[in-house]
């Protein structure tokens, strides 16, 4: 595992006092950081904080590998039904660890329909042979509206084609005991994997919900866990000034207190693109909170922004360099690529192409990263770099674990609960009411009254 965090470009001596951080400031926070580290250790010990233990659960990896080996030849397609934390991690693993065009030449073809867009799902159904498709339903409670509706939609086709044998094409990953999927599994003898009780959705990428599709697509999940396990050691250092998760959290919370409420995640690698999306949920849902632990209203949280280098230099960087200085930008950089073909100027009469002669695309990509870093730093825009030696299972496991631990630290430093999501409830209840679910009549009436009162401004 070779992943490191370079935070030189947030330090005052490099980007100036106005937008920089004095190392003293971080050291002042280190006492709080040590308490945070202890508090996290206590939560790990008393079993309320489960994600730290996932990398060392080798028996579960074995079970996943046995299962995927046993079913691989039965299915030509794999359809992953889950949303939010049940989809973003699995998707990030797919795009970082398998061939971009895997579906063009490998089986089972992998699909991740993480939305209830009817036309999008209908187009997916056209692509698969239902009889040879494994539907992996992922939901802790089983009651997530989108996941339930997508399951019922696919069940129309499963029932039609397989009759009462439909259950042979289902796999569930859910709560160890409770929930609707367990009821269905019991009735129909459906294979279930488990999400431990103490692991929240956005911290669950290293449970079977991520491992099963990764293994099916041929990724080395043992190496993935090994990388995470090695990173876990660094992120549990009680000497927090040497703990990268604390340092990342400290820098971001200091900047939040100074009004920099945007966290840009900008990998210079297409393979890492969906990690930004996964980080987006992790950071937004964990840290975006109205109340602190003492129920004071604080309305805190950084808005995550996904970017991609070098592409977004031609889209976002103008704003990052010249617009409001309200962001902390994290680059992800890959040192070594597999493709090292040397560029040649095939148009020698175009002298302006000469500088590319003899170079590699990787050389260009990393020069662009360096150039953007320089432009931002010269303009006092704080930026950090997570550098990995290559895009490998070990390094991806380490990176994912690092962000999870950093999020946990940030929650402690902000004195909030990073592991709940109370703000999602209101929308859920309104959805149930609008869908006419039993028991939500009062809310429905409230909504109808509000709608009828509303003056319309429409053009």
Active-site positions read 285, 314, 428
- Which stretches within 4-117 are classed as H helix? 12-15, 23-45, 58-71, 88-97, 102-105
Position 311 contacts a copy of itself (CB under 8 A): yes
Q: What does the per-residue mask of binding to a copy of itself show for 54-83, with x meaning CB under 8 A?
A: -----------------------------x
Q: Map the footprint of a copy of itself across residues 93-112, applying CB under 8 A.
A: 99-101, 104
* Contact pick of 46, 163, 436, 452 for a copy of itself (by CB under 8 A): 436
Residue with tokens 């003056």: 455
Q: Map the footprint of a copy of itself across residues 34-53, applying CB under 8 A.
A: none
- How do beta strands 109-111 and 133-138 pair? unpaired
Helix, strand or coil for residue 302? coil
Q: Which is nearer to a copy of itself, 60 or 256 (CB)?
A: 256
Q: Which is nearer to a copy of itself, 60 or 232 (CB)?
A: 232
Which residues on neighbouring strands pair with residue 46, listed in sequence order?
Answer: none
- Which stretches within 258-310 are classed as H helix? 273-287
Q: Which is nearer to a copy of itself, 61 or 245 (CB)?
A: 245
Cβ atoms within 10 Å of 152's Cβ, excluding its own: 9
Q: Map the footprint of a copy of itself across residues 395-424, applying CB under 8 A.
A: 421-424
Q: Residue 414 Cβ, how far from a copy of itself at the closest point, in Å?
A: 11
> How many whole angstroms separate alpha carbon 36 and alpha carbon 412?
6
Q: Residue 7 Cβ, how far from a copy of itself at the closest point, in Å?
A: 5
Q: Which is nearer to a copy of itself, 58 or 359 (CB)?
A: 359
Position 118 contacts a copy of itself (CB under 8 A): yes
* Contact pick of 434, 441, 445, 449 for a copy of itself (by CB under 8 A): 434
> How many whole angstroms separate alpha carbon 76 and alpha carbon 30?
52
Q: Which is nearer to a copy of itself, 46 or 104 (CB)?
A: 104
Q: What does the per-residue mask of binding to a copy of itself show for 360-399, with x meaning CB under 8 A?
A: xxxxxx-xx-xxx-xx--xx-----------x--------
Position 299 contacts a copy of itself (CB under 8 A): yes
Position 257 contacts a copy of itself (CB under 8 A): no
Residue with tokens 């028996």: 59
Q: Residue 375 Cβ, how far from a copy of itself at the closest point, in Å?
A: 4
Q: Residue 213 Cβ, how far from a copy of itself at the closest point, in Å?
A: 17
Q: What does the per-residue mask of binding to a copy of itself show for 324-353, with x meaning CB under 8 A?
A: xxxx---------xxxxx-xxxxx-xx-xx
Position 238 contacts a copy of itself (CB under 8 A): no
- Token readout for 436 is 């006419």
Cβ contacts of 113 within 8 Å, gap of 6 or more: 79, 80, 81, 120, 121, 124, 150
Question: For the chain, what is the radius of gyration of the CA atoms?
Answer: 24
- Token readout for 241 is 């000034």
Position 233 contacts a copy of itself (CB under 8 A): no
- Token readout for 398 is 């380490």
Q: Residue 396 Cβ, how far from a copy of itself at the closest point, in Å?
A: 14
Q: Residue 46 Cβ, how far from a copy of itself at the closest point, in Å?
A: 25
Position 116 contacts a copy of itself (CB under 8 A): yes
Which range touches a copy of itself (CB under 8 A), out of 54-62, 222-230, 357-365, 407-415?
357-365
* Contact pick of 106, 261, 415, 417 for a copy of itself (by CB under 8 A): 261
Say if CB 291 and CB 63 are below 8 A apart: no
Position 456 contacts a copy of itself (CB under 8 A): yes
Q: Which of 141, 228, 222, 224 is nearest to 404 (CA)?
A: 228
Cα end-to-end span (Å), the chain: 56
Q: Map the footprint of a copy of itself across residues 165-204, applying CB under 8 A.
A: 180, 183-184, 187, 201
Instruction: Write phi, then psi, for 339 (nearest 5 degrees).
Output: -85, 115
Q: How many CA atoms lie within 13 A of 57 on its CB side?
A: 18
- How do beta strands 383-388 and 3-6 pair? antiparallel
Say if CB 92 and CB 148 are below 8 A apart: no
Say if CB 36 and CB 246 are below 8 A apart: yes
Q: What is the 3-state secondary structure (H, E, C) of 193-246?
A: EECCCCCCHHHCCCCHHHHHHHHHCCCCHHHHHHHHHHHHHHHCCCCHHHCHHH
* Contact pick of 204, 207, 253, 269 for a copy of itself (by CB under 8 A): 269
Position 17 contacts a copy of itself (CB under 8 A): no
Which range touches a copy of itself (CB under 8 A), out of 190-198, 205-213, 217-225, 283-291?
283-291
Position 247 contacts a copy of itself (CB under 8 A): yes
């Amino acid at each position: 595992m070779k992943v490191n965090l370079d935070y030189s470009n947030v330090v005052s001596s490099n980007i100036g006092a106005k937008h920089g951080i004095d190392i003293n400031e971080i050291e002042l926070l280190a006492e709080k950081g040590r308490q945070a580290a202890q508090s996290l250790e206590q939560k790990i010990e008393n079993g309320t904080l489960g994600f730290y233990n996932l990398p060392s659960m080798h028996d579960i990896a074995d079970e996943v590998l046995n299962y995927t080996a046993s079913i691989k030849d039965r299915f030509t397609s794999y359809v992953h039904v889950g949303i939010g934390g049940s989809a973003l991690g699995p998707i990030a693993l797919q795009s970082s660890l398998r061939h971009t065009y895997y579906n063009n030449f490998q089986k089972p073809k992998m699909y991740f329909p993480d939305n209830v867009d009817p036309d999008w799902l209908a187009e997916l159904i056209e692509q698969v042979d239902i009889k040879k498709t494994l539907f992996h339903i992922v939901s802790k409670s089983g009651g997530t509206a989108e996941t339930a509706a997508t399951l019922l939609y696919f069940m129309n086709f499963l029932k039609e084609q397989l009759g009462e044998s439909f259950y042979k094409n289902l796999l569930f990953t859910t709560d160890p005991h409770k929930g609707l999927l367990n009821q269905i599994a019991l009735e129909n003898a459906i294979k279930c994997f488990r999400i431990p009780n103490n692991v929240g959705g956005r911290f669950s990428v290293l449970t079977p919900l991520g491992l099963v599709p990764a293994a099916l697509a041929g990724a080395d999940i043992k190496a993935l866990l090994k990388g995470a396990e090695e990173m876990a050691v660094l992120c549990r250092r009680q000497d927090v000034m040497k703990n990268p998760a604390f340092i990342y959290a400290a820098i971001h919370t200091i900047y939040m207190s100074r009004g920099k409420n945007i966290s840009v995640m900008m990998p210079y690698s297409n393979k890492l693109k969906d990690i930004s999306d996964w980080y987006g949920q992790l950071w937004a849902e964990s840290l975006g909170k109205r109340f602190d632990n003492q129920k004071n209203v604080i309305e805190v949280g950084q808005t995550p922004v996904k970017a991609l280098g070098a592409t977004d230099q031609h889209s976002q960087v103008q704003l990052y360099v010249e617009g409001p200085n309200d962001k902390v930008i994290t680059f992800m950089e890959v040192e070594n690529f597999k493709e090292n073909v040397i560029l040649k100027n095939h148009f020698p009469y175009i002298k302006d192409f000469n500088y590319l002669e003899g170079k590699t695309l990787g050389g260009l990509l990393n020069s662009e990263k360096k150039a953007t870093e320089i432009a931002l730093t010269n303009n006092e825009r704080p930026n950090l770099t997570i550098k990995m030696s290559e895009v490998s299972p070990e390094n991806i496991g380490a990176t994912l674990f690092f962000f999870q631990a950093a999020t946990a630290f940030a929650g402690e430093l902000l004195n909030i609960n990073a592991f709940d999501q109370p703000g999602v409830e209101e929308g859920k209840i309104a959805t149930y009411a609008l869908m006419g679910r039993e028991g939500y009549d009062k809310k429905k009436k409230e909504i109808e009254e509000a709608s009828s009162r509303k003056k319309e401004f429409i053009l």
